[in-house]
Structure 1
């Protein structure tokens, strides 16, 4: 779906949206498996792979979308930031 143009343009703001979306996705999964901390790296790897697969699919099965390496990078940054926040939260929880 093509979004209407409102006249305000911020270059590469979609990369921020990608990071936020994958941050929320990853943090949700990490918190869901909070009791199984040995699964956290599997969750991180699978979220990064999901981002790559979605980029490849939008390039191959659509005619109006293209894959973007910077989207994959933004997705991965969101995933890794969620892991960092989760580890900080987990460390504080185990200290208290």
Structure 2
């Protein structure tokens, strides 16, 4: 009986460790996006890919969406349906992207806010949500409601 209780407690600690790990990753990624979008990189060599910054914005928000979804999904106190979590993450990503573009316009001299960056952000978010929904539907057999 004592060994059973011990293993249950250890298992719960492992679950909490994953929750905080996803939170830590999501927060670091969110701060990294802000740093990379608001700091000037004029001395860096130019990449020969047209609209390379749009791919970067797409990737930033694709990963942002995945990480925040994983955290909210693992969060014990948040027993919301998957659709509600996905909506929350979509809104957070969209608003964060708009906020970063406004901050670029207002607080930097070398950067400008760009509507096409917001579109790239949003397309990264929508793609991530689509990947999550496909994964959940075909591999996890969970309901999205």
Shared fold (TM-score, shorter chain, > 0.5): yes
> Pairwise CA RMSD of aligned residues?
1.6
Q: Structure 2: which 5+ runs fail to align?
A: 1-40, 75-79
Cα distance in 1, alignment partners of residues 48 and 68 from structure 2: 33
Matched, 1:94 2:134: no
Q: Structure 1: which 5+ runs fail to align?
A: none
Alignment of 1:14-93 (within 5 A): 14-34=53-73, 36=80, 37=82, 38-92=84-138, 93=140
Which stretch shows the higher mean deviation, 47-56 or 86-95? 86-95
User: 35, 48, 51: which is aligned to 1:12?
Assistant: 51
Alignment length (residue pairs): 94
Higher relative contact order (CA 8 A, sep 6+): 1
Superposition deviation, residue 82 in structure 1: 0.5
